[in-house]
A = this chain, B = another copy of it.
Amino acid sequence: MKYGIAIFPSKQVQDEANSYRKRYDPHYDLIPPHITLKEAFDADDETIDELVVELKKIANETKPFEVEINKVSSFVPVTNTIYLKVEPHDTLNELYEKMHTGKFPDNKRFAFVPHITIGQKLLDDEYSDVFGRMKMRNFQIKDTVDRFQLLYQLENGSWTVHESFVFGKEYL
């Protein structure tokens, strides 16, 4: 099965992200707004049981922290994905590194740029128009992160949560 690891921001931030995603992100229906910590990777049941133990350890080593979002950015020219830029944070980097070492497959593809996608797979003209408008906007979002989620992908492309990992609250 295909798994991934993500942080869901608060409902308020998800609602705001969805107000853009509804129009600009074809993945709107497949998963709630999220910060990806680990891109999709394949694992069998046995491996996942092992990784769940590792994820519990990681969660227990982590303290809740605050992320900030101040602006919209894009991955152009690599892809025309538009996203809420999550300001770099040591704890996010640590989580990312821990999930790509040891027992975890090292499926890093790009440098880690924490973000919440709000638009993707747009036509060039649409991208320019939307990004032009969005980049002018000021965002002042602060959001507390106290957990991450392990998800798996269904055949229709949507993602279901397998397990949540709450910082400092996991049983080992």
CB closest residue in chain B, given A150: B164
Contact B162 A14 (CB under 8 A): no
Contact B18 A160 (CB under 8 A): no
Contact B160 A163 (CB under 8 A): no
**Given contact pairs A156-B22, A158-B32, A164-B164, A11 touches B15 in the complex (Cβ within 8 A):** no
Query: What is the count of identical protomers in the complex?
Result: 2
Contact B160 A11 (CB under 8 A): yes
Q: A8-B160, A14-B160, A32-B158 are in contact. List 8 more A-B contacts (CB 8 A).
A: A15-B155, A15-B156, A18-B155, A18-B156, A22-B156, A29-B29, A161-B161, A169-B171
Give per-residue flags for A5-17: 1 if the beta carbon is below 8 A from chain B beta carbons, else 0.
Answer: 0001001001100
CB closest residue in chain B, given A166: B163
A155–B32 CA distance with the chains assembled, in angstroms: 12
A149–B162 CA distance with the chains assembled, in angstroms: 9
Contact B154 A11 (CB under 8 A): yes
Q: Which residues of B contact A54 (CB under 8 A)?
A: none
**Given contact pairs A1-B11, A170-B171, A171-B171, A32 touches B164 in the complex (Cβ within 8 A):** no
A32–B156 CA distance with the chains assembled, in angstroms: 11
Shortest Cβ distance from residue A148 to the other chain B in the assembled complex, whole angstroms: 11
Q: Which residues of B contact A164 (CB under 8 A)?
A: 161-164
Q: Which residues of B contact A170 (CB under 8 A)?
A: 171
CB closest residue in chain B, given A32: B160
CB closest residue in chain B, given A15: B155
